[in-house]
Amino acid sequence: MAESTYSASDDVVDHFERRWAFVVAGIVAIVFAVIVFTGLHWATQPPSNVETIDASRLHLSGEFVESNLGTALQADGVATVRVIAQQYSFVPSCIVVPTDTPIVIRITSPDVIHGFLIVGTNINTMLVPGYVANVRTRFSTPGEHLMPCHEFCGVGHEGMWARVKVIDKAEFTKLSAGKRRVSCAD
């Protein structure tokens, strides 16, 4: 064996290896920069509503007290629905909304993370304690939709669901005459 196996071709290999090391380092740097940028961007410009609320006082004061839950027709023509999702039910367990009306659903949780989904629509969000989910929608046809919880929230998760009843606008107006809130019981 020769004393040294080093040759001119090793120099070339070294050169290429170093170049690839820089390329890999560059890719890692780009990926890292994208992670940092998107993290900061989503934190400062969230894709949806970020509204905090004291989850331990929902039933005591503010807009989510029991008498304020259900559907209310506002003066500006928007139907606002307020709902609480808790282990293991939605309150109210049946929501009535009118057709052809802008609808705002405001929903939050006092205990753990729940899921909010209206079957047959694109409404789908997480309900995180301490935050209010604000969903805007509109229904064009009357009908009934299931509203199951879709985040595992404990042993009673599979039994946690509610219904959404979409009724004709005229019928809803008649139903809500003289009432602050409307629910399926009306």
Residue of 151, 162, 176, 182 interacting with ligand CUA (CB under 6 A): 151
Residue 30 C-beta: closest distance to ligand CUA, Å? 39
Residue 165 — φ and ψ, nearest 5°? -105, 115
SS (H, E, C) 84-131: EEECCEEECCEEEEECCCCEEEEEECCCCCEEEECCCCCCEEEECCCE
**Binding of residue 149 to ligand CUA (CB under 6 A):** yes
**Binding of residue 81 to ligand CUA (CB under 6 A):** no
CB closer to ligand CUA, 85 vs 96? 85
Q: Is the alpha carbon torsion for 23, 24, 25, 28 positive or negative?
A: positive
Residue 133 C-beta: closest distance to ligand CUA, Å? 13
- The SS3 assignment for 135 reads strand
CB closer to ligand CUA, 101 vs 109? 109
**Binding of residue 69 to ligand CUA (CB under 6 A):** no
**Binding of residue 116 to ligand CUA (CB under 6 A):** no
What is the H or E stretch that residue 9 is in? helix 8-44
Question: Footprint of ligand CUA on this chain (CB under 6 A)?
Answer: 114, 149, 151-153, 157, 160
